Amino acid sequence: MSSPLLRAKRPSTPLAGPYGHPLHPMLVTVPIGAWVASLVFDLASLVVGDAGFLAKGALWLIAIGVIGAVAAAAFGFLDFLGIEPGTAAFRTAVAHLGLNLAVTALFGAAWAWRAPGGPVGAGQLALSAAGLAVLAVSGALGGRLAYRYGVRVADEATQAGGFQRS
């Protein structure tokens, strides 16, 4: 039987992506990019004359982010299954998972609030900014999982192969 560290490095199922190349980190770029862009659209809508197209664009970007977050969460959960309960990595993963669910719920609420249309209000802008702030904290925890605890990162012997001269 392998150690908890080695089990966390290997995918629990082929659906999670091959060893050393997990799908979750690639998929999180969709909601992060969409939600950041939606805030940029919101801010831009405050300074242009006809802001309707920007508000509609932000609404679409929020929806794309929520859909992308659901996909990223599915693959992230597969990675989560490989982490030994009771460890610092597991506690970090639970916090990361919980914060990401909260962020997705915040942006889902933001979408529902905006769906009727109209200009972006201060409350809607604040909700998006708060969602991104929580997302930044969760992203830092995700970075800790990968870069400090090595979850789904190839082991050092595999990594060393990339630094050998041919």
Question: Does residue 5 form part of some domain?
Answer: no
Question: Does residue 3 form part of some domain?
Answer: no
| Rounded-to-integer distance, Cα 138 and Cα 96, Å | 5
* Two tokens, residue 10: 């290997």
Mean pLDDT of the chain: 93
What residues make up the domain containing 138?
23-153
pLDDT of residue 12: 81
Q: How many helices (H) and strands (E) does the chain have?
A: 7, 0
pLDDT of residue 9: 85
* Two tokens, residue 162: 């990339």
Question: Does residue 60 form part of some domain?
Answer: yes
Question: Does residue 7 form part of some domain?
Answer: no
Question: Does residue 119 form part of some domain?
Answer: yes
Domains contained in the chain, number: 1
Question: Does residue 162 form part of some domain?
Answer: no
pLDDT of residue 133: 98
pLDDT higher at 21 or 111:
111
Question: Does residue 6 form part of some domain?
Answer: no
pLDDT of residue 61: 98
State which amino acid sits at residue 144: R
Angle at 139 between CA 133 and CA 145, to 5 degrees: 150
pLDDT of residue 1: 46
* Two tokens, residue 136: 């930044």
Q: CA distances (Å), 43 to each of 124, 137, 144, in order? A: 11, 22, 31
State which amino acid sits at residue 46: L
Q: What is the pLDDT of residues 38-63, one digit of tens each?
A: 999 999 999 988 888 999 999 999 99
Question: Does residue 164 form part of some domain?
Answer: no
pLDDT over threshold 90, residue 31: yes
